[in-house]
Structure formats: C-alpha cells, structure tokens
Amino acid sequence: MSADAVMPVSVVIERRETDNQWDDHLWRPIGVLPRADLEPGKMLAEGEGWAQYYGGVLDIELYRGETDGYRTNLSQEPPLIYVVLRRSADAEVLEFEPFMVTACPYEAMSYSEGNDDVVEGVPMPPEVMEWLREFVAVHHVDKPFVKRKNKRQKEEDERGRHPHPGRVLS
C-alpha cells in the first residue's frame, strides 16, 4: 500500500556508555531534523561518555486509515516521532541504524514486541507537527463505536433459547 503523504526527515542517534553489566553502551534515537545531506555515521557531537551521529534520511509516511493514531499522538504533550533502530549489518560505522520513523504510536508499539529493535519517541519538530495536523484535518473520519454481540448469543436470542436450558448458573 502506498502512502498518502510522505515527508523525509534526518535521524540523529546517540551512543552512550552505561554501567550495565551486560552492555557497556546503549544506542538510542535523540531527534529528527529536516532533511540533511550528510554521510550516515558522521559524528555530529561528542562528550564524555557519549557521541551523537547522523543516522540518515527516512520517510515519515502517512495513511488515511491511521488518522486515529495520529490524533492520539497530537493530543499528547509533546507529540512524538517514533524512531525504530535496528542492529546494523555493517557495524563498522554504527552498531544500530535507523530502520523506520512513524507518527503513529500504534505502529511503533508493534515494533517494540519481542526483538532487538530499539523503539523510542523523539520530540516532533514544529514543521512536521503542522504537516500532520493538516493531514488529519483533511483525512480523518470519525467512526461511530458499534458494540459487537457474540454471534452465538445472537443466534440463540433469535431462536428464543438459552444455550444450556437445564443448567442453573450460581
């Protein structure tokens, strides 16, 4: 399925030393910026125990069917862009690299289940927030809540029978 709207953003990631007995450092996303033309893996800043790197450009893709998730995100303070980092095949430069960015918290949640991906939200830049608000305003359609009834119960109600006629529930 092709996206209804796309915006490229640059991802900045950080490697930070830890006192953890299993890992001597952690990788995490720290921000997204308007598209920059830099070499992925380029160090942007460093200090004692940390270094920030340019991770590359990824597209934020918006879909009409996900506007409910975008609205939920925009209602949070602050709204976030969720970045998924995945272990790099070429660990010479970066051990983890940006794999995906999304404005939908539900999509991000699906990547956080049961693998080595790092999934974190970073503050949404104002220009992305405005673009997302406009998309939601144009494409969101409220769907009324319809409580579903158990199919078997509905069939039995129509026949006027209880599923266990001789059984008394206590």
Percent of the chain with pLDDT over 90: 60
For tokens 């006629």, the residue is: 165
Predicted pLDDT at 155 = 64
The residues spanned by each domain of the chain are 5-144
Predicted pLDDT at 50 = 95
22-65 pLDDT, tens digit per residue, is: 878 899 999 999 887 888 889 999 999 999 999 999 999 999 99
Q: From first to last of its 170 residues, what are the pLDDT tens digits of the chain? A: 799 999 999 999 999 998 888 878 899 999 999 887 888 889 999 999 999 999 999 999 999 999 999 999 999 999 999 999 999 887 677 889 999 999 999 999 998 887 789 999 999 999 999 999 999 999 988 877 777 777 666 666 666 665 565 555 55
The pTM (predicted TM-score) of the whole model is 0.80
C-alpha 146/C-alpha 153 separation (Å) is 17
In the chain, the amino acid numbered 45 is A
Predicted pLDDT at 18 = 87
